[in-house]
Structure 1
């Protein structure tokens, strides 16, 4: 009987023959770690179709798995493997309009900012995707990757990188959190810091609405869906670029329209009474059902736990920033 042999067209063969960059630390582990992160996304449900986006969840999973399986001195950056996996022929970039052909014409990309600007998402070969969406086959693929590239490692169900950041955002004071961000900014290179901030921003966007019961704290809008979609935003009271603060007390849960109004200084929150102040520098049709003026003087809905109430100091800073509008 003739032996069955795997060819480069076979999904398992493709995953066990990844082209890895040669570095002073040995073969670069980034590509297999990214593929393991994609599988974790399928495990947890934030990747459900053949559409892999560069999300904070994916970066967080990448960093979690990296901590568990990589023991060399490589830098845990996701941008390059997300870009260079295109060379494996099963990882297909789908570019935004206006950037068609950018991926093929570009030899390298080192920042997630550039990838987010140009790449809408990635699609896998249908044959590989069909295997990945099957829990049984996905586990076989996962063990194949581990055995091939990380034979001495295993994946646990311990505290993930995402959970570590969530704990910091939920439990730390603004002062502690800001000190930590300052330390990261001073110790990390620009690309690593960019990815760190990207993940933390993603956690903030998930945790603030959760703390507010996925409800706009001003309008009371609450829409729950069976898909990974939300109509409630996490709004920084003082922008992260100024505050370096992703803690819950620097956040509000708002519907998109009121989020935009808050960011532009058309509404504010009285730091003493937690009541809405609407700018005097705007006009609206009086009969409009969607008038922002209707919220003037309304007390916002606060989180059940007082420790998560918006910081009076931050609300004051926001009000002072737009003082001429009120």
Structure 2
């Protein structure tokens, strides 16, 4: 039975509906995305048949694209994620219906539009089960490489010593704020709109992953810590100055908070002063409860091990003055 299912899905993979251009040839986007999905299933970063739009998936798409694509096609993640819906094994689950995604050309408008409207894609459960077997995943990978990338397929297996993800993580961890902001401005001038949207999504996603790790997956105010064996994050990464205003994803512009305290911080119901002491807005009126935020007034937050990762005094001062409700 499994052999028949494997053969069926291999044939689906080998007969993908792909766009064609006289100047460029057939589009490589769909097989690149499928290789990316298989890669993350192998790593355990995709653990069900639901395929979410994550920084890891976008980054993997970019890395595999760099290895395999030798034509001048535009690297665009959103196109294959959306257009794989024409294949029998890929189903899109949307928040608001497909009509909001479509332009007059029946294509998508942008990466942001895709991300804002698509909840996830679903692949056949049978296909997910097949790929989850290491032997079968190797068969799928080899079929995609042989069929679509015969001239470059050997590069797929080259290890990345300095991957895009590693480069961005080093910048988030170590760059001074001014250097990071300057780099973001350079990227905005250099990249087209789609590429820049993907870049900011990836960087924001890595920031959200890294801040809780820096704080030992613990809320720096309440001490709440929840860990699971699954890839589920219960502690939020909170920008002190929003990225839209600061262009700053560096560690000192972040703190780790439980979701309720994150919301209170963003809305100015609490702040943290230059001595890392929590202050609660006098506008907060609440009953005495184990869930109250007033109980943390006067608390000193937990800080990372490395002083260079302490919350920026400049950023905290901005929050004290611009956001905190007195």
User: How high is the TM-score relative to the length of structure 1?
Assistant: 0.91
Shift, 1:69, TM fit: 1.4
3-state SS of the aligned residue for 1:10?
helix
Kept in 2: contact 1:61–1:161 (CA 8 A): no
The question of whether the paired residues in 2 share the 8 Å contact of 1:302 and 1:309 is answered with yes
Unaligned runs of 5+ in 1: 1-5
Contact map agreement 1:59 1:78 (CA 8 A) in 2: yes
Question: Which stretches of structure 1, 4 residues or longer, exceed 6 Å deviation after superposition?
Answer: 100-106
The alignment status of 1:75 with 2:77, answered yes or no, reads no
Q: 1 CA distance for matches of 2:102 and 2:247?
A: 36
Whether the 8 Å contact between 1:80 and 1:110 is mirrored in structure 2 is no
Cα distance change on mapping 1:101 and 1:108 into 2, 3 Å: closer
Residues 223-262 of structure 1 aligned to structure 2 (within 5 Å): 223-262=226-265
Instruction: Report the Cα distance in structure 1 between the residues aligned to 2:305 and 2:12, rounded to whole angstroms.
Output: 51
Change (3 A) 1:302 1:104: closer
Deviations 1:209-249 (A, max 9, x none): 00000000000000111111121000000000000010101
- Secondary structure of 1:284's counterpart equals coil
The aligned residue for residue 312 of structure 2 is 311
Calculate the aligned-residue CA RMSD, in Å. 2.2
1:16 equivalent to 2:23? Answer no
Distance in 1 separating the partners of 2:246 and 2:188: 13
Give the drift of 1:60. Answer: 1.3
CA shift in 2, pair 1:315/1:105, >3 Å:
closer
Q: CA deviation at 1:104?
A: 9.4
Deviation by residue 1:122-150 (Cα, 9 ceiling, x = unmatched): 12234432321111100111121112112
State how far apart, in whole Å, the 2-side matches of 1:165 and 1:222 are.
Answer: 26
User: Per-residue CA shift, 1:286-325, capped at 9, x if unaligned?
Assistant: x2111111111111000001111111111111111035x2
Q: Within 2, Cα distance between the matches of 1:240 and 1:103?
A: 26
How many Å separate the matches in 1 of 2:255 and 2:139?
43
SS of alignment partner, residue 302 of structure 2: coil
Moved more, 166-175 or 16-25: 16-25
**Deviation of the 1:105 alpha carbon:** 10
- Once residues 250 and 79 of structure 1 are traced to their aligned partners in structure 2, the CA distance between those partners, rounded to angstroms, is 29
Which stretch shows the higher mean deviation, 166-175 or 234-243? 166-175
Shift in Å, 1:83? 0.6
1:62-109 per-residue CA deviation (whole Å, 9 max, x = no partner) reads 11111221222222211110011111222111233x427777998211
**Which position in structure 2 is the counterpart of 1:118?**
117
Query: After the TM superposition, which of the residue ranges 70-79 and 290-299 deviates more from structure 2?
Result: 70-79
Aligned-pair distance for 1:164?
2.2
Maintained 8 Å contact 1:249/1:309:
yes
Superposition deviation, residue 251 in structure 1: 0.4
Q: Structure 2: where are the runs of 5+ without partners? A: none
Q: Is the 8 A contact 2:101 2:109 kept in 1?
A: no
User: Which whole-Å CA distance do the structure 2 matches of 1:87 and 1:202 have between them?
Assistant: 28
Indicate the residue corresponding to 1:88 in structure 2.
Answer: 87
After TM superposition, the score normalised by the length of structure 2 is 0.91
Q: Which residue of 1 aligns with 2:163?
A: 160
How does 1:39-58 map onto structure 2 within 5 Å?
39-58=38-57
CA distance in 1, matches of 2:69, 2:159: 16
In structure 1, C-alpha distance between the alignment counterparts of 2:257 and 2:61, rounded to whole Å: 30
Cα separation, 1, equivalents of 2:12 and 2:242: 44
